[in-house]
A and B are shown apart, each in its own frame.
Chain A
C-alpha cells in the first residue's frame, strides 16, 4: 500500500521524464534485451515498446520465426483446433512496435559486462535483461529416454512439431492398441496439460479406435483438477483410461523406445504410442547465466520478477521460482507486465505500481466440456502468494461447460493478440 501511494505522488513527473534522456545510463536510449519470444518474452517486449513510445531500445531474441503455442496444442491433437492456428508471427512486433527481433539462439550471458552472446556470433549489450526461456528437460529423468528418442516417444511439451507428430502417431495406432503417457513430477509447465492431453487422446480414440486403451503412468499422488478430469473421463470415455499412481510403482519408471515398452516398477508394458513428459527445469540460458538454484529454477523477487541473484535481470514464466503461481502462459504474461512496470520506472522514471498477478488455466475434457481453475495473487517478500481463487465444480451443467470452453477460445485470441498484435 505504501508503494502504491508513493507511485501516485509521481504522477506529475511522468510526462517530462519520458522525454528526458535517462541520465543514469549515459547517452542514447536505454537498452533492454529479451531472451525468449513466448508468453513472457513476447509480452514483455511488446508492452515495453508500446508503453515507452520508442524511448527504450527493445531487442527480442528468439530462434523460431513462427511461435507455436503449447497451449491449445492438446485441442489440435483432439481435432477441435487447427495446428495451423497455433502458429504466430513476430512480424507485428518488428513492423508495428519497432522491436529489433533477432532470430538466433542466446548462448551466453555476461552479467558483469551486461551482454548477451548469440550462437551466430553477435553480442547484444543491455541495461536490463529479461530472460523468459521456458523449460528444458532434466537429463535422465525417465531412464531410457532422451531427446534423441523424441521421434519414437514424443514429449510434445515445447510447442513446435512434436504435437503434430504425436497426433499422427495416435491416428496411426493399431485397432485396440495402447497409448501410454509418462507424466512429469512437480513442478512442471501447465499443471493440467498432461490430463487435458489424456482427455483429447481419449476423444480421438473413442471416435476412431474405441477398443484402444490409455495407460497414464503418473509419479504424483494427485494432480490438477483431478476430480473434474476423473468425473469427465468416467462420463465421456468409460473404461478407456487407466491411471497408475506411485502406490503402484509409477514413481519407478523407465522406457525402451526401440522396443516400445514401458517398465513400471518391474512390470513391462508393450505399448503402441508413448508420450514421455520428463521432469523439468528452467530453460538452459538461465543456467548459463548462473541464476538457477539446485532444483534448476531461478528464484525471483515477488515484487519485481528480478532474479534474486541479479537486480538487472528479470526472469519470467516457467523458468522462475516465484511461489504460488502455476507455470502457465497466462502466468508468464501476467509476470511480464509487472516486470515492464519496474523496468520503465528504472529506465524512464515512470510511476512504480505494486505488483499484481493473475492466472487462469482452462482445460477441455471433451468437445464443449471446458473447465477452469484460476487465482489472483499479491507479492509478499517471501513469494507470490494466492489472494483469491476459484475452480470449476463437478456436476456443472453442459451450458456452463460450453460457456467455459467458449471463454477459453476468447482467452486464446486475447493473449496471443496481447503478445503478437
Chain B
C-alpha cells in the first residue's frame, strides 16, 4: 500500500485513484497482459506515469494512430487516465 501511495504521489498534477484505475484496467487486460509480456500488442505495465498519461492523451487527440486505442482513449477523461497510469505504474516492467 505504501508503494502504491508513493507511486501515485509522483504522478504530478493529478494523483490517480488506483482503485478506479484497477476497475478501468480490466478493459485493458483483455489484450495487454498483466505479466508485461508483449506479443503483437505492447506491454503497458511499469510505465512512468507521465509517459502513460502522454500516450493515452495522444491517442485521444488523434496524434497517435490506432483505431482501437483511439476509441479506448476517447472514452477516458483526465481523471480516468491518471487512475490508469497510477494503477499500471504499480506493476513491474517486463523482464526484457
Q: Say whether B19 contacts A414, CB under 8 Å.
A: no
Contact of B41 among A14, A334, A410 (CB under 8 A): A410
User: Which residues of chain B come closer than 8 Å to A358, judged between CB atoms?
Assistant: 27, 30, 71-72
Q: Say whether B41 contacts A407, CB under 8 Å.
A: yes
Q: Say whether A8 contacts B27, CB under 8 Å.
A: no
- Measured between alpha carbons, how far is A341 from B25 in the docked complex, in Å? 12
Q: Say whether B39 contacts A413, CB under 8 Å.
A: yes
Q: Say whether A388 contacts B75, CB under 8 Å.
A: yes
User: Which residues of chain B come closer than 8 Å to A7, judged between CB atoms?
Assistant: 20
Q: Say whether B71 contacts A406, CB under 8 Å.
A: no
Residues of A within 8 A of B (CB): 7-8, 11, 14, 47, 330, 333-334, 337, 340-341, 351, 353, 356, 358, 360, 372, 374-376, 387-392, 406-411, 413-415, 417-418, 421
Residues of B within 8 A of A (CB): 17, 19-20, 23-24, 26-27, 29-35, 37-41, 67-68, 70-72, 74-75
Q: Say whether B34 contacts A417, CB under 8 Å.
A: yes
Q: Say whether A337 contacts B27, CB under 8 Å.
A: yes
Listed by A's residue number, 7 A-B pairs whose Cβ atoms lie within 8 Å are: A8-B20, A387-B75, A411-B30, A413-B33, A414-B29, A417-B33, A417-B35
Interface of chain A, main secondary structure: helix
Contact of B23 among A11, A330, A341 (CB under 8 A): A341
- Measured between alpha carbons, how far is A268 from B10 in the docked complex, in Å? 72
Q: Say whether B30 contacts A418, CB under 8 Å.
A: yes
A338 closest partner in B (C-beta) = B26
Given A340-B26, A415-B30, 16 other A-B contacts at CB below 8 A?
A7-B20, A11-B17, A11-B19, A334-B30, A337-B23, A372-B68, A375-B71, A376-B75, A389-B71, A390-B67, A390-B71, A406-B40, A410-B39, A411-B40, A414-B29, A417-B33
User: Which residues of chain B come closer than 8 Å to A47, judged between CB atoms?
Assistant: 26
- Measured between alpha carbons, how far is A276 from B59 in the docked complex, in Å? 42
Q: Say whether A410 contacts B40, CB under 8 Å.
A: yes
User: Which residues of chain B come closer than 8 Å to A388, judged between CB atoms?
Assistant: 71, 74-75
- Measured between alpha carbons, how far is A128 from B26 in the docked complex, in Å? 21
Q: Say whether B68 contacts A374, CB under 8 Å.
A: yes
- Measured between alpha carbons, how far is A14 from B1 in the docked complex, in Å? 13
Query: Lowest 7 CB-CB distances: which A-B pairs, in order?
Result: A410-B40, A410-B41, A390-B67, A337-B26, A406-B40, A414-B31, A409-B40
User: Which residues of chain A come closer than 8 Å to B19, judged between CB atoms?
Assistant: 11, 14, 351
User: Which residues of chain B come closer than 8 Å to A375, judged between CB atoms?
Assistant: 71
